[in-house]
């Protein structure tokens, strides 16, 4: 799955004539990423390498809201794969179910595509003590 190919959704515009609306895959990825990141229990999106690249982007004030999200978009449907880090001690199955629901709702309402599937991969669990360890390791700020 990629997020570089242009996908289209046709819309009949009755007042302004007829035309075609083009929604690029990256937009669908961004909508899915924003929806997933807002779910309680989601610490971060993406795997280790993706999050490392995301940290570099944040350091230069650029963020990728589609980080950890891969989409396949057709004319009327979309399939989504999301990789995330969950907070401990939340129910991982509940987080995955909530992410599926949030992403499906967002894409269907905002983009107007039917979502055929949302696959969620939880590749790590964030412990509250992880933040404490990061703060103690920093000798200079």
- Cα diameter, the chain: 63
Q: Return the pLDDT at 129.
A: 87
Whether residue 111 is contained in a domain is answered as yes
Whether residue 89 is contained in a domain is answered as yes
Specify the number of domains making up the chain. Answer: 1
Q: How confident is the model at residue 135 (pLDDT cuts 50, 70, 90)?
A: low
**Using an 8 Å Cβ cutoff, are 3 and 67 in contact?**
no
Digit-coded pLDDT (tens) for 66-123: 889 999 999 999 999 999 999 999 999 999 999 999 999 999 999 999 999 999 999 9
**Using an 8 Å Cβ cutoff, are 98 and 57 in contact?**
no
Specify the CATH number for the domain of residue 130. 3.30.70.1350
Closest CA to 113 of 13, 14, 31: 31
pLDDT surpassing 80 at residue 26: yes
Digit-coded pLDDT (tens) for 42-69: 999 998 655 455 555 555 665 667 889 9
- In which element (H, E) is residue 59 found? helix 48-59
Question: What span, in angstroms and rounded, lies between the C-alpha atoms of 70 and 11?
Answer: 24
Structural domain that includes position 89? 6-137
Whether residue 1 is contained in a domain is answered as no
Q: How confident is the model at residue 14 (pLDDT cuts 50, 70, 90)?
A: very low
Whether residue 64 is contained in a domain is answered as yes
**Using an 8 Å Cβ cutoff, are 82 and 99 in contact?**
yes
């Amino acid at each position: 799955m990629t997020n570089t190919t242009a996908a289209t959704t046709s819309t009949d515009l009755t007042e302004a004539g007829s035309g075609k609306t083009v929604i690029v895959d990256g937009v669908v990825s961004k909508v899915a990423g924003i929806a997933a990141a807002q779910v309680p229990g989601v610490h971060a999106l993406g795997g280790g390498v993706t999050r490392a690249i995301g940290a570099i982007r944040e350091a230069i004030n650029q963020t990728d809201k589609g980080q950890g999200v891969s989409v396949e978009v057709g004319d009327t449907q979309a399939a989504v794969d999301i990789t995330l880090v969950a907070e401990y001690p939340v129910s991982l199955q509940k987080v995955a179910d909530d992410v599926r629901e949030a992403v499906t709702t967002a894409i269907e309402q905002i983009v107007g595509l039917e979502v055929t599937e949302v696959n969620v991969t939880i590749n790590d669990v964030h412990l509250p003590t992880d933040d404490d360890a990061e703060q103690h390791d920093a000798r200079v700020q």
